[in-house]
């Protein structure tokens, strides 16, 4: 039978006697109060040596950072719970403390029964948050795997269309041209051959376009702006949209996986514009700045509702946001003035192995 380890507690308190008394009380209650720190720098060092489950944080401590600033720094580095222990309970201090999302705020002198209750609540919430983080990570990994499978299926269907059906249609067109050459001028057969040739030509064009939208072959060797512009040309014709694509001079040539993600973003944005925006024009800009690669898709439509991008039915945008977040990037959607919507996606400017010479 395994015994559950005692929760690890870090005490950040610059009054040594108070800290040692608190450490002894916590030990007697069954907690592992493993270290005392008197300053923010010392607290970070102790937490780095051994990550605590809970930090008991005095707000007035030695050093260049107070307890609230130290708590914020610790939480950026570690998934920990913070309980403030302080003699200061003014409104401004509480408002500052709330930003760090503590699990408790106790005013000195602290009653041990209250502290124990607060610790147990903090540990319970911390466990729930850990489970939520783990669940979210599993969901993210499943979503990424699902997207990978979808891309593989798109590639397979695109290859089947491009190398199979399209080639068969081309052979059919050659056969019709052959029959047309032998048919008598003005005959019914010649007329039917030409009508069928026209229909097959249209079918070939549509097949190639469907294959290109499923998996643009040109992404492997062309610039992203050219591939997006080609998609925009066909999409704008069917959706009655005037779509322009511009690229800044310094925009790098990206590896195919990054090009594909940005292309999917352009596809999703244009689809949403056609469905919801009632727009007439769309402008797509590819640029770099602040160490990022960015693409912005803006329209002159009615404008998106403030919460529309985060609603459950916006699965396309939510899925894209997860994919960008996993790569250290992001996605944002905002209303523009006087009308319209702007979708911006960005990725960190990639290292050399994710770019290639144009």
CA-CA distance, 67 to 40, in Å (whole number)?
A: 7
How do beta strands 8-12 and 32-37 pair?
Answer: parallel
Contact present, 277 and 341 (Cβ < 8 Å): yes
Name the average pLDDT for the chain. 84
On the question of pLDDT at 358 being above 80, the answer is no
CA-CA distance, 20 to 56, in Å (whole number)?
A: 13
* Whole-structure pTM value: 0.58
Q: Structural domains in the chain?
A: 8-110 (3.40.50.2300), 221-358 (3.30.565.10)
CB count in 10 Å sphere of residue 340: 21
CA-CA distance, 119 to 33, in Å (whole number)?
A: 12
Ramachandran region, residue 304 (left: φ > 0; alpha: ψ -120 to 50; beta: rest): beta
Q: What pLDDT score was predicted for residue 154?
A: 73
Considering just the CA atoms, what is the radius of gyration of the chain in Å?
31
- Give Cα 168 distance to the centre of its chain: 41
What mean pLDDT do residues 212-231 have? Answer: 83
CA-CA distance, 219 to 352, in Å (whole number)?
A: 18
Q: What pLDDT score was predicted for residue 72?
A: 92
Report which of 43, 39, 22 is spatially closest to residue 31, judged by C-alpha positions.
22
| Residue 1 binned pLDDT confidence (cut-offs 50, 70, 90) | very low
On the question of pLDDT at 151 being above 50, the answer is yes
On the question of pLDDT at 288 being above 60, the answer is yes
What mean pLDDT do residues 318-345 have? Answer: 87
What mean pLDDT do residues 13-41 have? Answer: 91
Report which of 264, 38, 29, 206 is spatially closest to residue 123, judged by C-alpha positions.
29
Q: What pLDDT score was predicted for residue 280?
A: 94
């Amino acid at each position: 039978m395994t015994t559950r380890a005692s929760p690890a507690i870090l005490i950040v308190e610059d009054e040594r006697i108070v800290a040692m008394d608190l450490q002894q009380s916590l030990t007697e209650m069954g907690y592992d109060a493993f270290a005392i720190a008197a300053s923010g720098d010392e607290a970070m060092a102790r937490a780095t040596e051994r990550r605590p489950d809970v930090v008991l944080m005095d707000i007035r401590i030695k050093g260049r950072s107070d307890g609230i600033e130290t708590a914020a720094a610790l939480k950026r580095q570690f998934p920990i719970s913070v309980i403030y222990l302080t003699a200061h309970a003014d409104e401004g201090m509480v408002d500052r403390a709330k930003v760090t999302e503590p699990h408790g705020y106790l005013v000195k002198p602290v009653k041990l029964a209250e502290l124990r209750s607060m610790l147990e609540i903090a540990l319970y919430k911390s466990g729930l948050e850990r489970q939520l983080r783990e669940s979210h990570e599993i969901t993210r990994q499943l979503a990424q795997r699902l997207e990978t499978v979808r891309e593989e299926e798109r590639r397979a269907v695109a290859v089947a269309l491009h190398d199979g059906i399209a080639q068969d249609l081309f052979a059919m067109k050659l056969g019709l041209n052959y029959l047309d050459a032998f048919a008598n001028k003005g005959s019914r057969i010649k007329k039917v051959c030409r009508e069928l040739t026209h229909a097959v030509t249209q079918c070939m064009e549509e097949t190639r376009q469907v294959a290109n939208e499923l998996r643009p072959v040109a992404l492997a060797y062309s610039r992203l702006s050219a591939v997006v512009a080609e998609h925009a040309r066909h999409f704008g014709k069917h959706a009655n949209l005037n779509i322009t694509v511009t690229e800044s001079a310094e925009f790098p040539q990206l590896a195919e996986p990054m090009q594909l993600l940005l292309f999917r973003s352009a596809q999703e944005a244009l689809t949403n514009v056609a469905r919801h925006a009632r727009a007439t024009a769309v402008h797509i800009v590819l640029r770099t700045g602040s160490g990022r690669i960015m693409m912005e898709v803006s329209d002159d439509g009615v404008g998106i509702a403030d919460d529309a991008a985060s609603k459950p039915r916006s699965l396309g945008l939510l899925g894209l946001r997860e994919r960008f977040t996993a790569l250290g990037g992001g996605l944002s959607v905002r209303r523009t003035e006087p009308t319209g919507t702007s979708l911006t996606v960005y990725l960190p400017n990639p290292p050399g192995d994710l770019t290639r010479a144009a």
